[in-house]
Chains A and B, each alone.
Chain A
Amino acid sequence: MSQALRDLFADLPYLLGGHLLLSLSAVLIGVLISVPFGALATRHDRLRGPLLTVAGLIQTIPGLALLALMVPLLGGTIGFLPAFLALTLYSVLPMVRNTVTGIMDVDPAVTEAARGMGMTSRQTLLGVELPLAAPVIIAGIRTATVWVVGMATLATPVGAPSLGQYIFLGLQTRNWTAVIFGCVFSAILAVVLDQLIRALEISATTRNKRMGILTLSALALVAIGGIAPFVAERFGERPTGGARAGDLDASGAPVGLSSARTVSIGSKGFTEQYILSAYLESELRAEGADVSARPNMGSTILFDALRSDTVDVCVDYTGTIWATLMKRAEPIGRSEMLIEVAHYLKKEHGVICVGPLGFENAYALAMRKDRAAELGIRSIADLARHAEGLTIGGDPEVFGRSEWKRVRAAYGLQAARTRGMDSTFMYDAVRDGQVDVITAYSTDGRIAAYDLLVLKDPKQAFPPYDAILLVAPGASKLPGLLDALRPLVNRISNTAMREANRLVDLEGKAPAVAADSLRAKR
């Protein structure tokens, strides 16, 4: 087995366990909500319509959106809770629908006999209707389970550990093995649960108690066996530092941080952030800290998590905070922006800006050199002349941001068509001529590798984007944490970051390897 595959398998017990815990608890609580409500709806005609409509409406919300919406609804909480709530809501429809159908389809002669013999409504429900509707209700649980296991892969951006981590990480770092790996195990999990619940459905239909008990035991075994490694890793005794992090000098006396709680490092979902996350992890481990990573979060979700102390440390960019949080539009110098941003973060959110990491990862418009030469384009101003008929590709976030609106207005690019795509694909897209221009990241190794021209921005419409190291309000009081982070300020050059990105994006190295290259260059 190759090293890459071994690395994937190493994370499997933890991620599979997290996935299983998330899915099963969502379905279980979903059952506890759906069956009573469904049963109640068969007793009250006026409840039935609204209940089924609401459950159906929830279903029409795209899964990823439902998950993402839970984060602000919970005041910025990330991790298990928002994912669990979203999946629970999502599981309700098939189960409510089948409970209602199952009970309403019970032979009216049977329910009339029950009433006529002197059963109360409750006795009829529990003793006659629910047992007879059981196969249909279990079929609903089965559908819900398969949906939820699939949708749990989308829990990664809100910070819940699941098999989705393989898929998102693989997508961002062009590691297709990881993507397939995540899909395969998610599918295996779905099939296993589907078949077990199907056996339960059959034993309910045939009223085979022995088979039912056996199947339930098997389900419990799968659940406990699957979840145990996750619980052990998450809440159990950690092995001593050296076993987890190879670069920690176990004999060296760890300073201050070792006694503090686990420090969680948040990161967004693109290559540079994975590398920086790994970089911060190994730096903090070397200082004796216990570290956990919360990768793949959306930009605003990450900031909410930081603000609410769900995440302790992360890297963000001055221009991003300037535009999306401070809602400022006017151009300003690099150092002035840095000062204003740091001041704003402290004053408004209690977030501490430790300092710049030293490099800038700006948004920049880039296109193929040969195509630029052919059209005589050197700057964004030149681009405006050809705006009609041009397609600009960019990550899904950029076209909604105020910087883009400013650039578009400043240079008159309104006529150009925009096409949102995952950032991992846009460089190939511009190289292959599928789009004409992209909103590149200035530290991306593929700009040089694909022979792309970064267009000049004479009006300075794009703000500066210095990478800054941020610490959550609560974590800033952890003894030793700020001291451990301060030495990292101004230590990564633009060239070093671009090289690290190139190692992952073009050479297929793991983010941790690229992080080591950053440490070596310091």
Chain B
Amino acid sequence: MLDLSHVRKSYDGGLTHAVKDVSFAAEPGELIVLLGGSGCGKTTTLKMINRLVEPSGGTITIDGQDILGLDPVALRRTIGYVIQGAGLFPHMTIAENVAVVPKLLGWEPARIRPRVDTLLDLVGLEPGDFAGRLPRELSGGQVQRVGVARALAAEPAIMLLDEPFGALDPVTRDSIQSEFIRIQSEVKFAAVLVTHDMTEALLMATRIVVIRDGLVAQIGTPEELLNHPADDYIETLISTPRRQAERLDALLPGGGA
């Protein structure tokens, strides 16, 4: 349903490219992880999908329709967007934050209220307790859950997530990651998630797109990457979590596969 074909981006009229040539597709229920180091072009690629960054070339289509033919503001309202730290509006309550996009779309208040409760339930926050609170009264993990709920509010077919769990402590991150996978299995949206964390990619992705210097270095399922890394660079990326897992295994009583 989401299809990127030879997408590129240059900020200086074609002299240099932040993104040189990226192609991949995402179907409902899939979670595509864009993986790479800082400055590799993964976030730029993500932001071209909701036109926060305008592509310099290539095509991006949603259900066969070129996004450049759509109004960018209307396009963004149909795509969920989660960023690191969530970017919640500090002057609005949790309920108001979640209701932003439905309000922009002109939903009736009678439709918004139950929707907010459903979403808070879905991300594991008791509506009666949280709806009226302000973002500053929440923990980092709770804030990020609200960020996910807010992005899901208008039932988008596509979710974009830009390092959404990067700033969380490991325990919180782990629980929110598995919960996100549970939510996606209930609500079958297509997700594109940007991260530099290989472990996160391996644990969450249906497919991983490794990006290096604005080019796709490899596309594959976590298994494919683990077993058949395309080159030394990807081998190095994968070796770290693998080594960590092996060392942890060795420490556990009765460990070892």
Contacts and interface: CB of A to CB of B under 8 A. Distances in A.
A112 B87 contact: yes
Contact of B73 (A109, A110, A120): A120
A123 B104 contact: yes
Contacts of B104: 117-119, 123
Given A112-B52, A132-B91, A207-B134, A117 B76 contact: yes
Interface string B71-94: 001111110010111111111000
B88 A118 contact: no
Interface string A101-138: 00000010110111111111001000010011000000
**In this complex, which of A110, A112, A113 has the most chain B Cβ atoms within 10 angstroms of its Cβ?**
A113
A109 B91 CA distance: 14
Chain A binding site: helix, strand, loop or mixed by DSSP?
helix
A117 B91 contact: no
A118 B101 CA distance: 7
B50 A116 contact: yes
**In this complex, which of A110, A118, A128, A132 has the most chain B Cβ atoms within 10 angstroms of its Cβ?**
A118
A225 to B, nearest CB: 32
B133 to A, nearest CB: 12
B48 interface: no
Contacts of B77: 117-118
A109 B84 contact: yes
Contact of B81 (A116, A128, A132): A116
Contacts of A115: 52, 76
B50 to A, nearest CB: 6
Contacts of A123: 104
A112 to B, nearest CB: 6
Given A115-B52, A117-B104, A118-B74, A110 B134 contact: no
Nearest to A113: B87
B25 interface: no
Nearest to A130: B91
Interface in A192-211: 207
Interface string B93-123: 0000000110010000000000000000000
Interface in A395-418: none
**In this complex, which of A107, A109, A116 has the most chain B Cβ atoms within 10 angstroms of its Cβ?**
A116
Given A117-B151, A118-B104, A119-B104, 12 more contacts: A109-B86, A110-B87, A110-B88, A113-B86, A113-B89, A116-B87, A116-B160, A118-B75, A119-B73, A123-B104, A128-B89, A207-B134
Interface of B: 50, 52, 73-78, 81, 83-91, 100-101, 104, 134, 150-151, 160
17 contacts: A107-B90, A109-B84, A109-B86, A110-B88, A113-B86, A114-B87, A116-B50, A116-B52, A116-B81, A116-B83, A117-B151, A118-B78, A118-B104, A119-B73, A119-B100, A131-B91, A132-B90
